[in-house]
């Protein structure tokens, strides 16, 4: 899923595990915000970016009580309706509202000024914050 608004893109992407087999499929959900102002000429246009291009990146497991990575397993015995409900409710209740908030670049700046920068290292955090706040 992609929402492009205010010059930014919010992304929800499913990622499959490298350890999938014919009997088991594992997946997680990646959430990201790509800030159009921070894209460089060698990166794809905003409408074609992926979560790994994100200037904010977080996995859906961060919104669970234990706040750790969450991978779901799909096997022959998996109840697909229960799985779909679990994943979609978590995205709708927690993930989507979180990333949609940061479509507003001012909110992204405020997050970074608070010292939080999900998915970024310190260098990226400082560099992106500086680029967005110069001239504002």
pLDDT band at 67, cuts 50/70/90?
confident
**pLDDT (tens digit per residue) in 78-136:** 999 999 999 999 999 999 999 999 999 999 999 999 999 999 999 999 999 999 998 66
- The strand pairing partners of 96, in sequence order, are none
Question: What's the DSSP call for residue 123?
Answer: H
For the record, the structure tokens of 77 come out as 């015995």
Q: What share of the chain is helix, strand, coil (3-state, %, to 5)?
A: 40, 25, 35
The reported pTM is: 0.92
Rounded CA-CA distance 96/5 in Å is 14
Own/partner contacts of 108-115, CB < 8 Å, gap of 24 or more, are: 108/8, 108/33, 108/35, 108/55, 108/56, 108/132, 109/133, 109/136, 111/56
């Amino acid at each position: 899923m992609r929402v492009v608004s205010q010059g930014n893109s919010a992304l929800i992407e499913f990622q499959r595990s490298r350890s999938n087999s014919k009997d088991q499929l594992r997946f997680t959900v990646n959430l990201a915000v790509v800030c159009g102002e921070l894209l460089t000429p060698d990166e794809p246009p905003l409408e074609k970016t992926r979560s790994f291009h994100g200037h904010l990146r977080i996995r859906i497991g961060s919104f669970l009580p234990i706040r750790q990575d969450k991978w779901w397993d799909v096997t022959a015995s998996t109840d697909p309706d229960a799985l779909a409900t679990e994943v979609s409710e978590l995205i709708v209740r927690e993930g989507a509202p979180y990333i949609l908030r940061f479509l507003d670049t001012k909110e992204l700046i405020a997050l970074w000024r608070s010292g939080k920068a999900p998915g970024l290292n310190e260098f990226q955090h400082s560099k992106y914050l500086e680029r967005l706040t110069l001239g504002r």
